[in-house]
Amino acid sequence: MNRAAQTQPAAPGMQVASEQPPSLAVELQVEAAAAREAGLFETARAVLWSFFGVRGRRAHERDAVRLNPLYVILMGIALAAGFVVGLVTLVRFIVS
């Protein structure tokens, strides 16, 4: 009996490890590393959507690969500080 006949299909929702040539696997890793760098706008957009608490699964998975965690933390702190400063300015304007 050959090996292909002995393998059973994966259950729904499970991924089957595919056997790829080594050159293709290395090429995919290089593409993933190059795709990791998201710009300032994409980082700000992801952080702002997280403030609202609405993120699609597909967007979350894409951002998990592309965004640099350090930039996400720094952007979150900066946007939260900007939000607080904006609220304080608005309150001072209304009160005065």
Reported as a single tens digit per residue, the pLDDT across 53-81 is 888 888 888 888 888 889 999 999 999 99
Handedness of CA 68, 48, 53, 84 (dihedral sign): positive
Most confidently modeled of 7-11, 23-27, 69-73? 69-73
How far are the Cα atoms of 31, 34, 51, 67, 73 from residue 23, in angstroms, in the given order?
12, 17, 41, 26, 35
Kindly state the DSSP code that residue 51 receives in the 8-state scheme.
H
Long-range contacts of 5-10 (CB under 8 A, 24+ apart): none
Asked if residues 56 and 24 have their Cβ atoms less than 8 Å apart, the reply is: no
pLDDT band at 2 (very low <50, low <70, confident <90, very high): low
Supply the pTM of this predicted model. Answer: 0.58
Q: Alpha-carbon distance 76 to 49, whole Å? A: 11
